[in-house]
Structure 1
Amino acid sequence: MRRQVRAFAVTVGVLAALGAVAGLTWSWVAPRAPYLPTDRGLILADPTTQALIAADGWFAIITGVLGLACGMVAWWRGRETGLAVVLGLAAGGVLASFVTYWVGTRFTVGAATVAAAAPGLDVVGGLDLTTQSVLVSWAFMALAVYAAIEGVLLYRRSPLRQPYGAQPYNGGIARLPE
């Protein structure tokens, strides 16, 4: 039992730490929308900008690729503690996405932010997500790749692969009856 708890905690901790790196990466590569300061607050300088959607896309790409990598590494390293690692991928993936979001919105790495600007000057806005559904991309991709690898390997070992009464698979080598 102690081994499973440790595997769960290590999985969640590693994914959360990777979330901080992913947040800085997202802050560096994602575009920011320009805003105009007015007496009523900031408004979008260009209402047709695609920068808000592109920020969501970069978040999904970064967290999805890391989810794929984490799922493969978790399957390779955590086969003995299967369920604990799977639960760690689920919880750690969601936690890592929230850490990525928090770090990416709090720290500006790529573009300069202007705190106070004179009216009429463009201000580069901060990052934010317009859709919250991308927050599950890390956990979803990690669990999907883990399940796909496990499913393929279980299928290859399954006796159900052979039709009833058929000879076992011999690696594709044709043999003549004796």
Structure 2
Amino acid sequence: MSAPLTPPPPPHEGSSHDAWQPPSAGPVADPSGKDGSAGNAGGYGWYGQDGPAMKTEVREATVIAVAVALGGALLGVLWWWLAPRVPLVGDVVGGNWVVYLKDTEGEQAVGVDGTFALLALGFGGVSALAVFLVRRHGGVPLVVALAVGGLLGSLLAWRIGIWLGPAQDVIAQARSVGKGVAFDAPLKLSAKGALLAWPFAALVLHLGLTALFGPRDPDPLLPDPYIPQGP
């Protein structure tokens, strides 16, 4: 008579051959920062991005804003040189000098504002292109520098053009040239909105160049899914 067959013992629950162990995730960074891992957050160097790197960008943006603003001196000279002249004439009425437009239907005054606006748009495009060629990436400090520099440059050009143009005392000019003799009116920017042409053009063109030709951020690397292997 044969001995009864006995089933094999069940596998041990803690067997290293059957139980799946997750792959090691490597050392865990200490959130307290005592081991130096929290300050470098996986090796990406957050301190470098939020600390010295940001200070460097702010310094470079300040230099760019000053350089763009100084370009307003050239804009002021060109405005004074290219803007149409507005002729005035003087007359004596009741013993007092009065000054009025020689051509009441002329559009020279509108041309003065238009010349400034067109020149400012051109300077905005040139400054945006120059900044993009120097710094091919955007950033908030760089955009703010272009806007502030363009606005300061427009204000500087406005004042320089007035300073280079005819004297502001039109009564004295009328007396010096004589009654009924035409003379040039001082430069005047009637449409103050033209002061925003430079920063507006610079921002639009720089954002467009950055979007089309600027560097692209690399796609984040996704971890490979775990594929369990058979026995």
TM-score by length of 1: 0.78
Whether the 8 Å contact between 1:4 and 1:81 is mirrored in structure 2 is no
What CA distance in whole angstroms lies between the structure 2 residues aligned with 1:117 and 1:85? 51
Q: Does 1:127 align with 2:187?
A: yes
Letter in 1 for 2:199: A
Aligned residue in 1 for 2:77: 24
2:228: which partner in 1?
none
Counterpart of 2:90 (choices 27, 32, 37) is 37
Residue 14 of structure 1 aligns with an amino acid whose one-letter code is: A
Aligned length: 155
Q: Kindly indicate whether the alpha-carbon contact (under 8 Å) linking 2:137 and 2:210 is maintained by their aligned counterparts in 1.
A: no
Report Cα offsets for 1:134-164 as digits up to 9, x if no partner: 110000000000111122246x9599xxxxx
Distance 2:149 2:141 in 1: 11
The one of 88, 106, 110 equivalent to 1:53 is 110
CA RMSD of aligned residues (A): 2.4
CA deviations over 1:35-85 (Å, ceiling 9, x no partner)? 112335321111111111111111111111110011111122123562211
Q: Which amino acid aligns with 2:149?
A: G
Higher helix share: 1
Q: 2:202 is matched with which residue?
A: 142
Report the Cα distance in structure 2 between the residues aligned to 1:9 and 1:42, rounded to whole angstroms: 46
Q: Which runs of 5+ in 2 are unaligned?
A: 1-53, 219-231
Larger Rg: 2
Structure 2 counterpart of 1:82, from 127, 135, 139 = 139
For residues 102-121 of structure 1, what are the structure 2 equivalents within 5 Å?
A: 102-108=159-165, 115=173, 116-121=176-181
Greater mean alpha carbon deviation, residues 22-31 or residues 77-86: 77-86
